[in-house]
Amino acid sequence: MVRPSGGRVIEVEYESQVNLLTDDGTRHKKLQITDNRIIYSDCGGNAVNCVDVTGKQIWQYKQDLSGPYGLCADTFGNNIAADCDSKTIKAISKDDHASKVLVRNDDILYLPKCVCFNHQESYSFVCD
């Protein structure tokens, strides 16, 4: 267990499951770690957050999100979020300045919760 400053705790559990506990007691299980940054979804807060390894917030993306759940990164470091309540898959730029809907409800999504990107083949999987 790592206790960085800033009220966030990173917890490694059995079978390498990693959780992030925020200072409000919420356990975030959907996270990714890239370039010494931890990006995690806050489904209840309708946000995707980025913190450094000490727990200091780098950015928070809340525009057009209504239940972000699963996360992954593409080849360019952009964050791909499964937005469960809006039934969309969204790409959020690695600096949080822009987003784009990649797949929407019209394209046969029902409560997407997991998204994974295959970096070798440049395609993604979505589970709902």
What integer pLDDT is reported at residue 59 of this predicted model?
92
Contacts of 24 (CB under 8 A, 6+ apart): none
The mean of the pLDDT values for the chain is: 74
What integer pLDDT is reported at residue 61 of this predicted model?
92
User: Residue 91 in contact with residue 64, Cβ under 8 Å?
Assistant: no
What gap in Å lies between CA 109 and CA 97, rounded to an integer?
26
In the structure, what pLDDT confidence band is assigned to residue 76 with cuts at 50, 70 and 90?
confident
Q: Which domains does the chain have, with CATH numbers?
A: 9-127 (2.120.10.30)
